[in-house]
Structure 1
Amino acid sequence: MYDLIERNLKNKVSATEWQARLDLAACYRLVEHMGWGDLIYTHISSRIPETEHFLINAFGVAFDEVTASNLVKIDIDGNVLDGGEFEINPAGFTIHSAIHQIRHDAGCVIHLHTPATITVASQQQGLLPLSQYSMFSMASLSYHDYEGLAVNPDEKLRLQQNLGANNHLLLRNHGGLTLGQTVGDAFMRFYDLNRACEIQLMMQSSGEQITTIPQSIIDNIYKQANIVHSGETGGQKAWPAMMRKAYRLDPSFAK
């Protein structure tokens, strides 16, 4: 009863879908490697290019068990499209579907419950401009108040309104979320967001007076961050290296 269903879709789906599956499966493995996982909970979703179909993890599969073939193909309502060997957590897709519905530029959405993002999201002031990493995130950051488990369809509209055109979202008392045109963009944005939160908490716990960043520099760095940490110089530069790391860690994700 505890065996994981295995299948191999490499030669049964389009080359475009297979590449999307490889990227997303690698992302799950890297998230687990970075210590950002939460047992079988939290989700990363990815749109299959040139379609209105999405990939997400099967409910009950640990992040370090995710493979390109055991990802589940679904529609925007979370209906399983590829055979039904697996199921997804419908409540878990509420947040992702809300974003994919309105942000057609969101090729990938990462939502995780890391201790650092939960803690900073729960602070009254949220993320502060205390480090270079916070600059990368604050240039495109908004907040969403906690409403309990994400099972209420009415919450989707408020999620959409709070996210707006931003690429980073801190969910109060809940965690962090990033999105990007590609898996690499979303991954790098979450890396920056989580690192910014970790550094802020370390500074706050040091007991020392923190050097603040002048507003004129903040404004300029915001502009730089939007250029340096997007497109060819951002996720698209870092992601090939992350894929190589995923293969070194455990190439079984590519099955």
Structure 2
Amino acid sequence: MSAQLSIPSKKDSVSEEEWQLRTDLAAAYRLVALYGWDDLVFTHISARIPGDEHHFLINPYGMMFEEITASSLVRVDQDANKIDPDDFDINPAGFTIHSAIHAVREDAACVMHLHTTDGIAVSAQQEGLMPLSQQSLFALASLSYHDYEGVALREDEKARLQKDLGNANFMILRNHGLLTTGTSIADAFLAMYILQSSCEIQVRALSGNRPLTPIPGGIVDTIKQQAEQVTKGLGGKLAWPGLLRKLDRIDASFRD
């Protein structure tokens, strides 16, 4: 982390549980930057802090994802009000989508929303995500869509977003981007990795100007059980320790 930002450590001022959550969320931001999925300082990944206060962690507005640290993350309430007035400001408009989902999905401990080029490309295609790859099947088994209504600033859009998401863990926001939820930060990240990979594969397949071979629909119905077998029932937690080690080798300052 650049010393110019002078962010004091919060490690000794928060619970061990919150610090672990901060570390994992900072890692998710760094991984998004590492894989080239970030959009300058825009988009967000939010994580619910366990407890009855309904507080969340989200990125400070204006910081690049590659700069995010555990201590720089901002704790906010359901209305995007900062709990610590000394924290960096956040983008309240950016929390609109996240707060809508957290409000109705108790299982959505983490919500990840990105503006990747290939994700937006697929979101603009009338067919949406197509069953062209093994990766796409995992997303298609729990995928929903939300039509574009402009920049997500209006309070009344929340209800439509909630209805469109339903119980799905993957969402394509038409003409906008991608969204995933998870019971943990690791699960939300793995879901985004799968969805983003599916979109990249689809864009490349369509650009080949050759006949395509879709996967038969019946196979989609069996994919959830197969996913449990592939990850040994651990979901995103199977790959997460390795991803943290990868970050530690590159730059461990996300833990600050």
Fold-level match, TM-score > 0.5?
Answer: yes
The Cα shift of 1:228 comes to 4.2
Instruction: Identify if the C-alpha distance between structure 1 residues 124 and 29 changes in structure 2 by more than 3 Å, giving closer, same or farther.
Output: same
Moved more, 82-91 or 188-197: 82-91
The Cα shift of 1:216 comes to 2.3
Q: How many residues align?
A: 253
RMSD of the alignment, in Å?
1.6
Instruction: Identify if the C-alpha distance between structure 1 residues 231 and 93 changes in structure 2 by more than 3 Å, giving closer, same or farther.
Output: farther
Q: Which amino acid aligns with 1:55?
A: L
Where has structure 1 moved over 6 Å in runs of 4 or more? none
Aligned runs of 1:118-137 on 2, under 5 Å? 118-137=120-139
Instruction: Identify if the C-alpha distance between structure 1 residues 12 and 231 changes in structure 2 by more than 3 Å, giving closer, same or farther.
Output: farther
3-state SS, counterpart of residue 19 of structure 1: helix
Instruction: Identify if the C-alpha distance between structure 1 residues 76 and 243 changes in structure 2 by more than 3 Å, giving closer, same or farther.
Output: same
Q: Which amino acid aligns with 2:93?
A: A
Q: Distance in 2 between matches of 1:127 and 1:183?
A: 24
The Cα shift of 1:128 comes to 0.5
Moved more, 56-65 or 213-222: 213-222
The equivalent residue for 1:53 is 55
3-state SS, counterpart of residue 70 of structure 2: coil
The equivalent residue for 2:114 is 112
Residue 4 (structure 2) pairs with residue 10 (structure 1): no
Which residue, 210, 213, 218 being the options, matches 1:211?
A: 213
Which residue, 83, 86, 90 being the options, matches 1:84?
A: 86
* Overall identity of the aligned pairs, in %: 54
The equivalent residue for 1:24 is 25
Paired residues of 1:5 and 1:85 also in contact (CA < 8 A): no
Instruction: Identify if the C-alpha distance between structure 1 residues 38 and 228 changes in structure 2 by more than 3 Å, giving closer, same or farther.
Output: farther
Deviations 1:187-213 (A, max 9, x none): 000000000010011111111111222
3-state SS, counterpart of residue 118 of structure 2: helix
Q: Which amino acid aligns with 1:75?
A: D
The Cα shift of 1:230 comes to 7.0
Deviations 1:17-44 (A, max 9, x none): 0000000000000100000001110000
The Cα shift of 1:5 comes to 4.1
TM-score by length of 1: 0.95
Q: Distance in 2 between matches of 1:152 and 1:5?
A: 35
The Cα shift of 1:82 comes to 1.9
The equivalent residue for 1:94 is 96
Q: Distance in 1 between matches of 2:55 and 2:194?
A: 28
Question: Any unmatched runs of 5+ in structure 2?
Answer: none
Residue 222 (structure 2) pairs with residue 220 (structure 1): yes
Question: Any unmatched runs of 5+ in structure 1?
Answer: none
The equivalent residue for 1:235 is 236
Instruction: Identify if the C-alpha distance between structure 1 residues 230 and 76 changes in structure 2 by more than 3 Å, giving closer, same or farther.
Output: farther
The equivalent residue for 1:39 is 40
Q: Distance in 1 between matches of 2:41 and 2:120?
A: 18
